Structure 1
Amino acid sequence: MSPDAHIVSTGTALPGEPVDNEAIARRFGTDVASAEAFIGTRQRHFAVDLNTGQVTHTLTDLGAQACAQAMARADLEPRDVDFLVLGTSSPDALVPATVNLIADRLGIDQVSTYQLQSGCAGALQALDLACRLLDEEHLIGLVVGADVCVKHLVLDRNTNSVGRTGHVLFGDGDGAGAAVLASELVPGSIAVRRVLNRFSELSRTPGQVVRWFGAADLARPEQPVEQDHKAIAQRVPLLARQAMREVLGMTGWYQASVSYLLPPQLPGRVPQHVANELGLADVTEISCVADVGNAGNALPFFQLDLLRDRILAEERAVAIAIEPSKWIKAAVTLEGM
């Protein structure tokens, strides 16, 4: 029996030209060697001009571009789309929901829209929801993952004295990815076999906090972003192993039958720790964080975009995303059709 969900096409969007580590070092006087050793990202794209501080792209801009590309590749018109799901940790505003701004930009009207606010696992959470929405009345959906870090780039200060800005500049990035999901089998599509989406680590302290401020909060001394890098480095590989084992069990696959691994896309040494923890042999890893930057919920769609060019009929893949803010493990099993 054919599965109920198929990835028909993908689309991606990046703002402007890539910004390499040397360009950041020249602009802000930061140390390239130490940043590369700690973060490991070679280049990234920003939705802001680093020289002028002017915002060049909104989340709506990038999300609409990625969706438009995915729709064009699937030969779809706006009237063909039955629902739209967005996963992001950085919407343009609390209201209106960015997913509705994207739909409006694309000319998609009279459809169900959903916006999930989540960190690294948001893309697979959105995919999970989209798979559940497919039915006899909802045959085609758009799934989007996108993030921008504009709100946390303080460009008029010395980054040596503002640690988070330096980390954002070297480690993070902006972008959007999308996929067309259909209930009917399309030649060349990727079948979604099972999706794992579980909140875990009950009572464990969050590994990451990103705060949103209102007018009454401006005088408070809280940092907008906090990360426990040690906890992330320790817990993400373990949760990735759990996610791999659980999603393979749900699908009825053996680990040895997997041809491709799309691991969690976190900067620094975490990807290598994940690979060591999983202990996979003869598996092709598909990663992009070193060249795209940590664009959050966009990255799983960039990985899917790369997978579409490689996976053959009956080949199998597993994608894993771990959310360190309140420890969510997500994974999906995929098969070439």
Structure 2
Amino acid sequence: MTTRHDVKILSTGGYVPGDPIDNATLEKYVGPLPDDVLEGIQVKTRHWMIDPATGEHLINNSRMAERASRQALERAGVEPDELDLIVVCTATPEYTLPNVATTLQHYLGLESVAAIELRGACAGWVQALDLARRQLADGTVRTALVVGSEVGSPILAPLFLGKDPERVRMRDRLTLYTFGDGAGAVVLRAEPAEEAADSFAFVNACVGGLRKPGMEIIGGGTDVPQAEQLKRRQLIQMKVDVPGTTTFGPQVFVRAIQEMARKDGRTLDEFDAIVLPEGNADYFAEEFASAGMPAADVKALEGRIVENLADVGATGSAAVPLSLDAGWTSGRIRPGDRIVVLGIEASRYIYTGLSLTWQATFPG
């Protein structure tokens, strides 16, 4: 007979590198954006792992993951050697191999642990969370660490380093003002369920399989011979289809939110918090209705979305856990709340969501 296990998130942790870089400071390096564009992206500050003046790396992806992990472990009262499973999501690892999950394992001083890395971005961390949750629920592991860590600034640095800020292309400025670096983590634990365990609902789909990619990171892979890669304008290049993400992105958000509510058997106004990075950004929120969301659902989202885009920018794999960390530590998310964590990734328009009942009381 299989024992049912109750899976709980014990704590969160977050880390952003260096001091915040506000828009006025960034303008000195990359040139200005029009006020209406700045208002649309809503990012006020971001954190970069590079020195914007020199491009020097001040920390790396795995060390950021370690900082967020240690904070989450300390808040949970869990020692690293109690971990049975580490799952890390990132799209910007230091190396192809070894992966960030095993490097984090090394930094935490663990000789042996199950370690998995998912190559994903904004939606990937929720996939990682569900992967861990399933292994906890079936008794495969008891304690797990799930981390999202992203460093876009090293990829973006060649767009402006050594250039007159006024000569930086406007489309490149839009990307530079949008993205930040960071890492977020949660610690989960499973215990045998004496009563009915918490119910979870999970959704996951790629809905842009036949569309032009909304985002691409090209270079450093095996798409063409290395000699050809070295001839490119940039060794590694980030491409964003701004018109495509602006028009199709809201439709993906709406589809994801509606499917999540159906899967959980609730209406949107029955959720206490919806952790939805970028959910309040003008270029998404203003389009919900035109993307097919009923007026009642648009109204229900008001006051329920938890996000911190203005403070940290778009942080890829770290976006959902950093928003979750901000919601928990600020008291916005409280024990007993029914919450949704929802990630949207633009490369092929992947969405993924997980609903759960929050049980952790913030220490102190």
With normalisation by structure 1, the TM-score equals: 0.90
Aligned partners of 1:195, 1:184: CA distance in 2, in Å?
A: 21
What amino acid maps onto 2:144 in structure 1? G
Query: Equivalent residue of 1:62, what SS?
Result: helix
Deviating above 6 A after TM superposition, structure 1's stretches of 4 or more consecutive aligned residues are: none
Q: Once structures 1 and 2 are overlaid, which stretch shifts more, 137-146 or 303-312? A: 303-312
Alignment of 1:207-222 (within 5 A): 207-213=214-220, 215-216=226-227, 217-220=229-232
What amino acid maps onto 1:299 in structure 2? A
Q: CA deviation at 1:77?
A: 1.1
Structure 2 residue 275 is matched with structure 1 residue 262? yes
Alignment of 1:134-173 (within 5 A): 134=136, 135-149=138-152, 150-154=154-158, 155-163=161-169, 165-173=172-180
Could you tell me which residue of structure 2 aligns to residue 288 of structure 1?
308
Aligned partners of 2:180, 2:31: CA distance in 1, in Å?
A: 19
Could you tell me which residue of structure 2 aligns to residue 333 of structure 1?
355
* Unpaired stretches in structure 1, ≥5 consecutive residues: none
What amino acid maps onto 1:176 in structure 2? A
Cα RMSD for the two superposed structures: 2.6
Which of 166, 169, 182 is 1:175 aligned to?
Answer: 182
How many pairs are equivalent?
Answer: 334
Q: CA deviation at 1:228?
A: 1.2
The structure-2 alpha-carbon separation of the partners of 1:192 and 1:15, relative to structure 1 and needing over 3 Å to count, comes to farther
What amino acid maps onto 2:85 in structure 1? F
Query: Equivalent residue of 1:138, what SS?
Result: coil
The structure-2 alpha-carbon separation of the partners of 1:316 and 1:2, relative to structure 1 and needing over 3 Å to count, comes to farther
Could you tell me which residue of structure 1 aligns to residue 119 of structure 2?
117
Q: Once structures 1 and 2 are overlaid, which stretch shifts more, 308-317 or 61-70? A: 308-317
Aligned partners of 1:267, 1:166: CA distance in 2, in Å?
A: 21
TM-superposition CA deviations, 1:24-66 (whole Å, max 9, x none) = 1233443463551353210000101112221101001100000
The structure-2 alpha-carbon separation of the partners of 1:221 and 1:49, relative to structure 1 and needing over 3 Å to count, comes to closer
Alignment of 1:228-267 (within 5 A): 228-265=241-278
What amino acid maps onto 1:151 in structure 2? I
The structure-2 alpha-carbon separation of the partners of 1:227 and 1:185, relative to structure 1 and needing over 3 Å to count, comes to farther
Could you tell me which residue of structure 1 aligns to residue 129 of structure 2?
127
Q: Once structures 1 and 2 are overlaid, which stretch shifts more, 32-41 or 266-275? A: 266-275
The structure-2 alpha-carbon separation of the partners of 1:268 and 1:235, relative to structure 1 and needing over 3 Å to count, comes to same
Q: CA deviation at 1:300?
A: 0.6
* Unpaired stretches in structure 2, ≥5 consecutive residues: 360-364
What amino acid maps onto 1:305 in structure 2? D
Could you tell me which residue of structure 2 aligns to residue 26 of structure 1?
28
Identity of aligned residues (%): 29
The structure-2 alpha-carbon separation of the partners of 1:2 and 1:317, relative to structure 1 and needing over 3 Å to count, comes to farther
Aligned partners of 2:172, 2:19: CA distance in 1, in Å?
A: 20
The structure-2 alpha-carbon separation of the partners of 1:160 and 1:2, relative to structure 1 and needing over 3 Å to count, comes to farther
Aligned partners of 2:312, 2:338: CA distance in 1, in Å?
A: 25
What amino acid maps onto 1:171 in structure 2? T
User: Are 1:233 and 1:270, in contact at CA under 8 Å, matched by a contact in 2?
Assistant: yes
User: Are 1:159 and 1:165, in contact at CA under 8 Å, matched by a contact in 2?
Assistant: no
Q: CA deviation at 1:109?
A: 2.7
Aligned partners of 2:287, 2:109: CA distance in 1, in Å?
A: 41
User: Are 1:3 and 1:193, in contact at CA under 8 Å, matched by a contact in 2?
Assistant: no
The structure-2 alpha-carbon separation of the partners of 1:34 and 1:256, relative to structure 1 and needing over 3 Å to count, comes to closer
TM-superposition CA deviations, 1:219-262 (whole Å, max 9, x none) = 14587121111211122221122112222222222223112122
User: Are 1:176 and 1:298, in contact at CA under 8 Å, matched by a contact in 2?
Assistant: yes
Query: Equivalent residue of 1:329, what SS?
Result: strand
User: Are 2:69 and 2:185, in contact at CA under 8 Å, matched by a contact in 1?
Assistant: yes
The structure-2 alpha-carbon separation of the partners of 1:136 and 1:37, relative to structure 1 and needing over 3 Å to count, comes to closer
Could you tell me which residue of structure 2 aligns to residue 307 of structure 1?
327
Q: CA deviation at 1:274?
A: 5.8
Aligned partners of 1:3, 1:237: CA distance in 2, in Å?
A: 36
User: Are 1:5 and 1:192, in contact at CA under 8 Å, matched by a contact in 2?
Assistant: no
